[in-house]
Amino acid sequence: MMKAELAELMQRIPGKTSAEWPMGEPFTLAFAHGTMSVEVYAPKDTDIQTPHDQDELYFIHSGHGEIVVADERHRFEPGMVFFVAAHVEHRFENFSPDFCTWVVFWGPKGGE
């Protein structure tokens, strides 16, 4: 069995800084198995993520705002889930300071 606790994971955010994430990584890994990984993503102010190599699901935990997927804009709030295919441009915009989402990546690079 694998288990993750949001309060513990949030203490790891922001993570290490890099050229890509100068303010620190706004995500942390909860656990992984095979091609599947579960993360928590909690950007502050601006979402600068780029498309991913795998398909992904975003389970909105807290906050509200908009998700833009391939130039389509959708409002989000807690309890919603969004699918984003591999290599598709997407980002969160106009989100509240308490925004936090679980992210599940799975499958082969390039998507299913």
Q: For residue 1, tell me if it sits in a domain.
A: no
d(CA 90, CA 73): 10
The CB-side HSE value for 78 (13 A sphere, CA atoms) comes to 7
Average pLDDT over residues 90-98: 98
Task: Please state, rounded to an integer, the average pLDDT across all residues of the chain.
Answer: 97
- Indicate the DSSP class of residue 5: -
Of the listed ranges 15-24, 29-38, 71-80, 83-92, the least confidently predicted one is 15-24
Q: Are 67 and 74 in contact (CB under 8 A)?
A: yes
Number of domains in the chain: 1
pLDDT digits (tens, 9 = 90+) for 2-35: 999 999 999 999 999 999 899 999 999 999 999 9
Q: What's the domain range around 75?
A: 6-14+23-106
Q: Residue 12 has what pLDDT? A: 97
Q: For residue 112, tell me if it sits in a domain.
A: no
Q: For residue 75, tell me if it sits in a domain.
A: yes
Q: For residue 111, tell me if it sits in a domain.
A: no
Residue 48 sits in a domain of what CATH number? 2.60.120.10
pLDDT digits (tens, 9 = 90+) for 58-73: 999 999 999 999 989 9
Q: For residue 97, tell me if it sits in a domain.
A: yes
Q: For residue 81, tell me if it sits in a domain.
A: yes
DSSP states of 33-99: ETTEEEEEE---S-------SSEEEEEEEE--EEEEETTEEEEE-TT-EEEE-TT--EEEES--TT-
**Which H helix or E strand runs over 17?**
none
Q: For residue 56, tell me if it sits in a domain.
A: yes
Q: For residue 63, tell me if it sits in a domain.
A: yes
- Say how many C-beta atoms besides its own lie within 10 A of residue 15's C-beta: 13
